Amino acid sequence: MKQRLIGIFTGMGILVILMNSDPGGAADQNTNQTERNWQVGFSPSYLKGDYGTDSTTTITYLPVSVRRLFDNGDVTFIMPYLCVASNGAVTLVGGVPNRVNQNGNGGSGGSGGGKGKKPGNVEPVSSTDCGIGDLILRGRYFLVEERDWIPTIAVTGRIKMPTADASRGLGTGEFDEGAGLEVYKKLSGQWWGFMDSGYTLIGDPSDVNLRNQWYYDLGVGYDLTKNLLLSMYYEEYRALIAGLSNPRDLLFSLNYKASDLLRFNAATLVGLSDGAPDYGLTGGISWRF
Q: What is the pLDDT of residues 16-48, one digit of tens each?
A: 555 565 554 444 444 444 578 999 999 999 999
Please give the pLDDT value at position 117.
82
Please give the pLDDT value at position 206.
84
Please give the pLDDT value at position 6.
55
Please give the pLDDT value at position 110.
43
The CATH classification number of 2-288 equals 2.40.160.40
Please give the pLDDT value at position 25.
43
Domain map of the chain by residue range? 2-288
Distance CA 58, CA 128 (A): 9
Please give the pLDDT value at position 118.
80
Where the chain has pLDDT below 50, the residues are: 24-33, 106-114
Please give the pLDDT value at position 34.
52
Predicted TM-score (pTM) of the model is 0.86
Q: What is the dihedral of CA 125, 282, 222, 37, to 10 degrees?
A: -110
Please give the pLDDT value at position 31.
44
